[in-house]
Chain A
């Protein structure tokens, strides 16, 4: 893997880029069967990308309906029972079918083998199976939504969900149950792959931080998901059999459900944010052209977040009869999560310090992430405080907080990552100007949507209400701001949807390493061949060994697939 291989450059067909595409995973074979039965992790990642985008758009449509209803104080567009279904569907689709699988199943699936120098994940069949399981869970849930919907909220709280709700709880629960096994298999596959499939020389501390964060995420997948699976199964069976495991009228305990539910669902929040943090580490280092500051601290902070994540579930039950002493401990441990999170934020900013910061779209998203994650994280500490939580519990403050983490954090990371690796995935560049424009639109729209919700929540507007008092005029102003922001956000999301699809046919051809970055995934062609690397790479360098961009431009890139003479290494243009 010498970094400049003139032999290879000379023998490459002179115009392979424009006329004769090399054989890669996309054009290796054609036809619907070659996709539906593929064992290639890159193709499975694209299957996930397609299906996850579908669920994202659907979940977004429900958000549009919610924001339209809240434009006016009166419940005029929909009545409460319909509204209950709207926010439930939005939550179930976005949490279980978009946020949890988004980064791991798309970018993780695509990049983990490439980043560690493997030919595929350890269990390719299991990987394909997990996509089918995901789709089966999705179909069951969609069936529940189409048949009449669910109104329990994505949290399925008992005894409402087991006894009173007269909607398709069992079917939706079954969808979530089935979908859980897709997460478990993905997590299992990642852990085994990272342990056993690393290329020669790819030691643990040479791994990209993206891999560390996916390792931590996978631990949660494997340890947490089975618990939600059995819990949802118990809810479904309780509805069927009328035995009181969670129903207090029959001797059960509804708070037990909350414990079991949040034992998974709080770590699940870290499933959403950790992969995104991994992406941000990559983006910050690459687009500042600097070695990440405090590599091992960032790596271990991912593991610490995963471990702490399992010990804080009780902070969802400060107001549900939980012992005050238990609350005290859960509160302190929740505060402790701030330490590894802050380690990451400080190390990212320290990495940027005196770096050659580019203003490319991935870096914009990375910077958005840092700012929004700080707001989302700090308001999380407000909520972890026993006293303040009683005031803002179940208000829009909570809604704003977790949207800052899930949209401001997880989604920004996902979009940044998608832009950063789009050239690798498709072999084409996205249009930079449009991408920067849409990133700004998304940033403005996002803040306008969710910042007013902090104020609303602090003023006492409860979550999950379809109407609010007329005599609280500021509430309507804030709700109108939020709805206007949601429109801008929605418009901003449509732009990448259009230009990503456009770029697959009309985008500029991408070189192997457009940024240029140092990871193994950039040392193979764009798009990569089916077996990822022509020769198994041998790693002799540390992660993030960046050289000055001037040196790269004059002497050559960091990889064997050199841009040819006269070509701009940043864009691939001649």
Chain B
């Protein structure tokens, strides 16, 4: 992250100064107060997000404890290679996001800011693309837990889901939770990409400077949060039954 030495030598153009001034809402006394308020607001928003996802994590934990075999069987059929690839993609996107914040904070040229922001968006879209592919795969395998549709097409999968203590009904619950958690996570990714587009546009118009870069930083907080949720989702959902998959 930028040190004081970095920012001290940075020149803020008069246009950027004006952009920063016009970003100050009328009811705040100064930029520091606005920054403190918006930053605290974003952290509180993330706190409520933790509680929101928390309900699902609780449901997951309880049924995993109740039906461990079904959980392992359901998990073993998830594609941990694609899940792992997506984990790497998201960690990289967190890096590019952090670099985008740095670029704005340290007053780097707009090209640098836009580059890192676009990279973040592209990595996010890559994640969503892989996720969509995974979902389609599950649909083909008949693993959509919805109103009686859940019926594995592959006999081997069906056997996996009904032996060694696993039951189809409980594996269906696993898939229900899988879709609920990853679906809610994907929704947050989509919202993130919708938000990053106007930020890229503003960065291109040179709105951000060491004086004013709050939107980039706050969006960064959100983006990192969404990544961290995935860091928890990946092992909890994909890696429970990896040893089982080896036998199949």
> Which residues of chain A have a CB within 8 Å of any CB of chain B?
118-120, 122-124, 126, 184, 188-189, 191-193, 195-197, 222-227, 229-231, 234, 237, 240-245, 250-253, 256, 260, 531, 536
If A188-B44, A224-B51, A260-B55 touch, whether A252 touches B173 (CB-CB below 8 Å) is: yes
8 Å CB interface, B36-92 against A: 36-38, 40-41, 44-45, 47-49, 51-56, 58-59, 62-63, 66-67
Of chain A, the residue at the smallest CB distance from B177 is: A245
Of chain B, the residue at the smallest CB distance from A263 is: B55
B44 A191 Cβ-Cβ under 8 A: yes
> Which residues of chain B have a CB within 8 Å of any CB of chain A?
25-29, 33, 36-38, 40-41, 44-45, 47-49, 51-56, 58-59, 62-63, 66-67, 145-148, 167, 169-170, 172-173, 176-177, 180
Contacts of B26 in A (CB 8 A): 119
Contacts of B148 in A (CB 8 A): 242
Bound-state CA distance A193–B176 (Å) is: 40
Could you pull out 23 A-B pairs where Cβ atoms are within 8 angstroms? Answer: A120-B27, A123-B37, A188-B41, A191-B40, A192-B40, A195-B40, A196-B33, A197-B28, A222-B44, A223-B47, A226-B55, A227-B55, A230-B52, A230-B55, A230-B56, A234-B180, A240-B147, A243-B173, A244-B169, A251-B169, A251-B173, A256-B62, A260-B55
If A222-B47, A237-B180 touch, whether A192 touches B52 (CB-CB below 8 Å) is: no
Contacts of A197 in B (CB 8 A): 27-28, 33, 37
Of chain B, the residue at the smallest CB distance from A256 is: B62
A256 B59 Cβ-Cβ under 8 A: yes
Of chain A, the residue at the smallest CB distance from B35 is: A196
B48 A225 Cβ-Cβ under 8 A: yes
If A226-B51, A230-B55, A231-B55 touch, whether A244 touches B41 (CB-CB below 8 Å) is: no
Contacts of A243 in B (CB 8 A): 145-146, 172-173, 176
B169 A250 Cβ-Cβ under 8 A: yes
Of chain B, the residue at the smallest CB distance from A250 is: B169
Query: Which secondary structure dominates chain B's binding surface?
Result: helix
A241 B48 Cβ-Cβ under 8 A: no
Of chain B, the residue at the smallest CB distance from A224 is: B51
Bound-state CA distance A118–B26 (Å) is: 11
If A241-B147, A536-B29 touch, whether A184 touches B180 (CB-CB below 8 Å) is: no
**Smallest beta-carbon distance B206→chain A, Å:** 25
B147 A242 Cβ-Cβ under 8 A: yes
Bound-state CA distance A340–B114 (Å) is: 53
If A244-B169, A251-B169 touch, whether A226 touches B147 (CB-CB below 8 Å) is: no
Bound-state CA distance A543–B135 (Å) is: 59
Contacts of A122 in B (CB 8 A): 27, 37-38, 41
If A234-B59, A252-B173 touch, whether A196 touches B36 (CB-CB below 8 Å) is: yes
A253 B36 Cβ-Cβ under 8 A: no
B27 A118 Cβ-Cβ under 8 A: yes
**Smallest beta-carbon distance B98→chain A, Å:** 24
Bound-state CA distance A237–B27 (Å) is: 42
B52 A229 Cβ-Cβ under 8 A: yes
If A222-B48, A243-B173, A256-B59 touch, whether A192 touches B41 (CB-CB below 8 Å) is: yes
Of chain B, the residue at the smallest CB distance from A223 is: B51
Bound-state CA distance A117–B110 (Å) is: 39
A188 B37 Cβ-Cβ under 8 A: no
Contacts of B173 in A (CB 8 A): 243-245, 250-252
Contacts of A192 in B (CB 8 A): 37, 40-41, 44
Query: Which secondary structure dominates chain A's binding surface?
Result: helix
A241 B170 Cβ-Cβ under 8 A: no
B41 A123 Cβ-Cβ under 8 A: yes
| Top 7 closest pairs, chain A to chain B, by CB | A230-B55, A226-B52, A119-B27, A226-B51, A120-B27, A196-B37, A243-B176
Bound-state CA distance A193–B38 (Å) is: 10
Other A-B pairs, 4, CB within 8 Å; known A222-B47, A230-B54, A256-B59? A119-B27, A191-B40, A230-B55, A231-B55
Contacts of B169 in A (CB 8 A): 244, 250-251
Contacts of B33 in A (CB 8 A): 196-197
If A256-B59, A536-B29 touch, whether A188 touches B45 (CB-CB below 8 Å) is: yes
Contacts of A244 in B (CB 8 A): 169, 173
B41 A260 Cβ-Cβ under 8 A: no
Bound-state CA distance A304–B22 (Å) is: 41
**Smallest beta-carbon distance B97→chain A, Å:** 23
**Smallest beta-carbon distance A394→chain B, Å:** 25
**Smallest beta-carbon distance B185→chain A, Å:** 13
**Smallest beta-carbon distance B183→chain A, Å:** 10
Contacts of B147 in A (CB 8 A): 240-242
Contacts of B180 in A (CB 8 A): 234, 237
Bound-state CA distance A230–B38 (Å) is: 25
If A230-B55, A241-B145, A241-B146 touch, whether A184 touches B176 (CB-CB below 8 Å) is: no
Contacts of A231 in B (CB 8 A): 55
Contacts of A251 in B (CB 8 A): 63, 67, 167, 169-170, 173
Bound-state CA distance A227–B49 (Å) is: 10
Contacts of B56 in A (CB 8 A): 230
Of chain A, the residue at the smallest CB distance from B59 is: A245
If A229-B52, A241-B147 touch, whether A253 touches B62 (CB-CB below 8 Å) is: yes
Bound-state CA distance A242–B177 (Å) is: 13
Of chain B, the residue at the smallest CB distance from A125 is: B25
Contacts of A196 in B (CB 8 A): 33, 36-37, 40
Contacts of A237 in B (CB 8 A): 180
Contacts of A222 in B (CB 8 A): 44, 47-48, 51
Bound-state CA distance A428–B44 (Å) is: 38
Bound-state CA distance A229–B54 (Å) is: 11
Contacts of A191 in B (CB 8 A): 40, 44
Bound-state CA distance A234–B63 (Å) is: 14
Bound-state CA distance A365–B241 (Å) is: 62
B44, B49, B67: most-surrounded residue (chain A CB, <10 A): B44
Bound-state CA distance A224–B38 (Å) is: 22
Bound-state CA distance A227–B51 (Å) is: 6
**Smallest beta-carbon distance B42→chain A, Å:** 10
Contacts of A124 in B (CB 8 A): 25, 27
B48 A223 Cβ-Cβ under 8 A: yes
Bound-state CA distance A260–B63 (Å) is: 14
Of chain B, the residue at the smallest CB distance from A121 is: B27
Of chain A, the residue at the smallest CB distance from B169 is: A251
A260 B58 Cβ-Cβ under 8 A: yes
Contacts of A118 in B (CB 8 A): 27
